[in-house]
Structure 1
């Protein structure tokens, strides 16, 4: 059973000194580059998006809700840009309207 059941517990974890230190270590290890963009042949770093206040997240590869024992395991962490992180968790995805061209062709 996860120790991160409530939003308050999750917030406490992410504000903890232990997490903050580990987050910096992971960003340094990953050279402040989004690992998903890197796997796809591009490089996304802190400088790529000056409009945003937070450009990179440290992501749990295996979610802390299902694997709380890996919450502070560096091997379970990766640097992702906000866009890739949101895509991974299916957040803020725009739904494209279906058009005439999407219909089946015969």
Structure 2
């Protein structure tokens, strides 16, 4: 797929959400998921099966915008593997602090 001027502009102006909503990206994303049988490729390397939730750019879009729509630059991943790739912590529920309550409740 060819990277159009409009798509390149989204990337260069840090409007990645708009890029990821384009029909070009959504079409290529589906092709990548089908190619990888909707399986997380990192988990698969470890002998595990996990459903892929996202498609990851091996060469990051911001670093290599010309590869943004290159199928060989894409890898299907589950969310935990994708978060690990980007050094993001998993969603952790914040523990609610329990307020002290005396036994006497007036």
1:18 aligns with 2:15: no
2:43 matched residue in structure 1: 37
TM superposition shift of 1:88: 0.4
1:85 and 2:91 matched? no
Greater radius of gyration (CA):
2
Indicate the SS of the match to 1:91: coil
- TM-score (normalised: structure 1): 0.72
Match of 1:62 among 52, 59, 63: 59
Instruction: Normalising by structure 2, report the TM-score.
Output: 0.72
User: Following superposition, which runs of at least 4 residues in structure 1 exceed 3 angstroms of deviation?
Assistant: none
**5+ residue gaps, structure 1:** 46-54, 95-106
**CA RMSD after TM alignment:** 1.8
